[in-house]
Amino acid sequence: MYLFSECDLSIVIPCFNEARRLPRTLARTFTYLAAKPGHHEIIVISDGSTDSTLEEAAEAFRTLPDNVQGKWFGYTPNEGKGKAVRIGMRQAAGKRILFMDADYSVPLEDLTRAEALLDRGYDVAIGSRAIENTKILEHQSFLRERIAKFFGLIQRNYLGLKLKDTQCGFKLFTRESARKIFSEVKLNSVIFDGEALWLAKRMKYKVAEFPVEWTHDPDTRLTYNIIRSLKVLRDMLSIPLLHFSQKQVAPQPHKRTARISV
């Protein structure tokens, strides 16, 4: 096996205490990529995990398919999914870059729908749980679904995002759009998706939604209460104001199977 300075697809998986679910997700990802033509990579980022998430990633990467390379990164303390995704997207070497959740809530077979959109000239393809042909096999709680709808309403009216679901954790980017967008993303909280899509709109990238098969795992790392919801709302409303400051500089990529702290 050798190092790929460039590959066809990068898959970024942000993690916080995912030692239990990550091995299953990586096994399914290995199976999918082994049968996919080309060279690919998987990037696992531990966002301040206090369990054996990184050790599980390292162990799994011992059995990578020949056409797949792996990287893992970790930092402390826990700062939020947005930071983990931002680091992974900046490190990725793929011509196309997907970020997906560690719970494998969307099967990788749905990636073909996203790739078809990029083939047609779109720059960003985002999975949606709110459009025709979507299949929800296991719903979130009533409260989480109501909060998501509320935030979606604000994003459509305040941020001008004409999208039905900005928060599904299954999004594919061209390398150019990923590097430009995530060089400017600043939010660490879960609403970073809205910021990234707002930036895509401002940069005039073409964005499309595609239906997914989605299964909610009740063993979630994202819990909502009034205080947390108000913080997310504050972050959402701050998005236009964040981008009067100087652009952030993306870090240089590290080697395969590297473990670093950032």
pLDDT in tens, 68-120: 999 999 999 999 999 999 999 999 999 999 999 999 999 999 999 999 999 99
According to the model, what pLDDT value does residue 220 have? 62
What's the CA gap between 19 and 181, in Å, rounded?
30
64 pLDDT higher than 90 = yes
Answer yes or no: are the C-beta atoms of 100 and 11 closer than 8 Å.
yes
- Name the DSSP letter for residue 163: -
* Confidence category of residue 245, pLDDT binned at 50, 70, 90: low
What's the CA gap between 118 and 120, in Å, rounded?
5
Could you tell me the CA-to-CA distances from 78 to 81, 232, 238 in Å, in that order? Answer: 9, 16, 21
What's the CA gap between 257 and 122, in Å, rounded?
31
**116's tokens:** 């078809």
According to the model, what pLDDT value does residue 156 have? 85
Average pLDDT over residues 143-172: 85
- CATH superfamily, domain 7-242, is Spore Coat Polysaccharide Biosynthesis Protein SpsA; Chain A (3.90.550.10)
What's the CA gap between 23 and 169, in Å, rounded?
18
250 pLDDT higher than 50 = no
Domain boundaries, given as residue ranges, for the chain: 7-242
According to the model, what pLDDT value does residue 89 have? 96
Answer yes or no: are the C-beta atoms of 87 and 2 closer than 8 Å.
no
Answer yes or no: are the C-beta atoms of 46 and 115 closer than 8 Å.
no
- The 10s digit of each residue's pLDDT in 8-28 is 999 999 999 999 999 999 999
Q: Among 93, 87, 85, which residue's Cα sits nearest to residue 14?
A: 85
- Name the DSSP letter for residue 70: E
Q: Among 36, 16, 11, which residue's Cα sits nearest to residue 83?
A: 16
